[in-house]
Amino acid sequence: MTPTGFPAGTLITVAPTGAESAKADVPALPVTVEEVVATARDCQAVGAAVIHLHIRDAETRPTLDLGYVREVVAAVREATDLVVQLSTGGAVTDPFDARLAVLDAAPDAASLSLGTVNFGRDVFSNPWDLIVELHTQMQQRGIVPEYEVFDLGHLATLARLLDRHGPPHGGHVHADLVMGVPGGMPGTAQALTACLPFLPAGATFAATGVGRTSLPVMLAALSAGGHLRVGMEDTLTYAPGEPVRDNAQLVARAAGLARIAQRPPMSTSDARTLLGISP
């Protein structure tokens, strides 16, 4: 902690791929095992400590097939020290049982979305029973959840979840405010500030601004003592008219801003300590 009460370092998560963009439209998107491993290495080198993974199949389509998932988890672990966080959100079309089965790949951590939200023209469905099942299975399997918050009401759901079903594995609550999704809360400093009083006591938070909200959300998160998530899952334009070159470019910018805020990027071992993940 700093004298301001803020965490001394900034946890930077990279979300390199996502499930929404097509490789054909975004050639720089890492989709093969080799591309994901190279991205993971490059991003750790410039300040990432956690990688949030969505997996693609041999045709570059999003997949929750455990063969592909396990292969990427093993390859990233072999090549880096990053905390491996698998998405249980998948794509909007993925069935709940396949999203739950991702936990069989035994990641260090996994995302856990806290409510249903319009997702552009689609619906990202996260009913209460699925939320409870993910939370409970992660407790039983020793996987640390990152609670994904797309709207203010999702923080009320988090309070209810913890109250009824107990703390997550590792005991620490970490939430990611996913802002600027068309259908969710806007990616503004005001919306971020509005969320803060509703975080559980002792929780930490990161924030992610989708698309053009990336920079304002990053700056607001840093100034509020939060952590950062960046990557091509969320942002494909570095500046107006300038496509993102690669994920490391986004992580390097986040790390630079974190240093300016005098909360430099956390090491992977500090990230594990913060999140309650055993080394």
**Residues making contact with ligand KMH (CB under 6 A):** 18-20, 87-89, 91-92, 111, 113, 119, 124, 148
Instruction: Name the minimum Å distance from CB 201 to Zn ion.
Output: 27
Nearer to ligand KMH, 109 or 244 (CB): 109
In 3D space, the residue among 59, 51, 76, 71 whose CA is nearest the CA of residue 22 turns out to be 59
Q: With 0-12 CB in 10 A as exposed, 13-18 as middle and 19+ as buried, what is 240? A: exposed
Residue 205 partner contact from Zn ion, ligand KMH, none using kind-dependent CB cut-offs of 5 to 8 Å: none
Run of H or E including 138 = helix 128-141
Residue 270 partner contact from ligand KMH, Zn ion, none using kind-dependent CB cut-offs of 5 to 8 Å: none
**Residue 274 is encoded by which pair of tokens?**
């913060």
Instruction: Name the minimum Å distance from CB 166 to ligand KMH.
Output: 21
Nearer to ligand KMH, 20 or 35 (CB): 20
Nearer to ligand KMH, 31 or 91 (CB): 91
Nearer to Zn ion, 13 or 87 (CB): 87
The CA distance from 126 to 181, in Å, is 15
Contact 215, 221 (CB under 8 A): no
The answer to whether 247 contacts Zn ion (rule: CB under 5 A) is no
In 3D space, the residue among 16, 7, 36 whose CA is nearest the CA of residue 206 turns out to be 7
Instruction: Name the minimum Å distance from CB 45 to ligand KMH.
Output: 24
Residue 80 partner contact from ligand KMH, Zn ion, none using kind-dependent CB cut-offs of 5 to 8 Å: none
Residue 69 partner contact from ligand KMH, Zn ion, none using kind-dependent CB cut-offs of 5 to 8 Å: none
Residue 124 partner contact from Zn ion, ligand KMH, none using kind-dependent CB cut-offs of 5 to 8 Å: ligand KMH
Contact 226, 217 (CB under 8 A): no
**Residue 193 is encoded by which pair of tokens?**
């500030």
Q: Identify how many contiguous H helices and E strands the chain contains and give both numbers.
A: 9, 14
- Region of 26-34, 83-91, 149-157, 192-200 interacting with Zn ion (CB under 5 A): 83-91
Nearer to ligand KMH, 170 or 184 (CB): 184
The answer to whether 87 contacts Zn ion (rule: CB under 5 A) is yes
The CA distance from 99 to 29, in Å, is 22
Instruction: Name the minimum Å distance from CB 269 to ligand KMH.
Output: 24
Q: With 0-12 CB in 10 A as exposed, 13-18 as middle and 19+ as buried, what is 59? A: exposed
Residue whose Cβ sits closest to ligand KMH = 89
**Residue 74 is encoded by which pair of tokens?**
């093993």
The CA distance from 245 to 248, in Å, is 8
Instruction: Please report, as ranges, the residues that interact with Zn ion according to CB under 5 A.
Output: 87
